[in-house]
Structure 1
């Protein structure tokens, strides 16, 4: 499915920056400190983090954003974060983002799964697998 290759320069159009990427229970991460704060919060609360590394100019990112928000509302036991790779370039580089969107699934700050591309069925499948692994008795 669709994904955008990382773009090295910003085109300067920040007017509607990230408007469509936050909503529902999705929290927009704009600093490394807020990322660390949210991971610590998730660890304390025993929540798995779903992190969406995306970009405002990326078509597939925009396409999957409403679905991601919808998933955040359906699964309040997970923590949903969005990181703009252009806004946090250096931080995103440490995660080795080669294309957007890239979704990471983190437990206690450690990666347990990853999905590259705007693949709705695969994202939902991975989310269900993670939820099942956390709550084997619930279906």
Structure 2
């Protein structure tokens, strides 16, 4: 179970660490305004939000990114967001992020569950449980 606690200061060259955290049904949050907009949209649509607080330099985060994207495709009834803790430092601090990755599950903007660390089976279990809470509407 991997956790990244602090950034390695020797890790100045980010080019070899590029991982695409977005894609599929995952939206990257880059501003507080986009966060507010997505949470408002989720509340309006009755969706549970899964938020991945991660960092590009974090090995466990990079390992979880493709799996997170897969889950976003399998469970379109949920809204999947990712926040880079280095890009939104104050915002991440307000969520009391102590390790990356940290996953929050939100309903109407309120935390209903949380997972700290790169634990694929546990994340999948929590995503399935969250998906079961969402009323499925037939088109």
- TM-score of the pair, normalised by structure 2: 0.89
Of 4-13 and 52-61, deviating more is 4-13
- Within 5 Å, which residues of 2 pair with 1:1-139? 1-7=1-7, 13=13, 15=15, 19-135=19-135
| Stretch moving more, 115-124 or 5-14 | 5-14
Equivalent pairs counted in the alignment come to 136
Measured on the aligned residues, the alpha-carbon RMSD in Å equals 2.1
Structure 1 residue 134: Cα displacement: 3.0
| Partner Cα separation in structure 1 for residue 94 and residue 10 of structure 2 | 19
Q: CA offsets, 1:26-53, max 9 Å, x none?
A: 0000001100110001011111000000
Taking the aligned partners of 2:84 and 2:13, their CA distance within structure 1 comes to: 14
Residue segments in structure 1 that go unaligned for 5+ positions in a row: none
- 1:81 is paired with a residue whose SS is strand
Q: Is the Cα contact below 8 Å between 1:27 and 1:81 reproduced in 2?
A: yes
**Matched residue SS, 2:39:** helix
Deviations 1:42-69 (A, max 9, x none): 0111110000000000000000000000
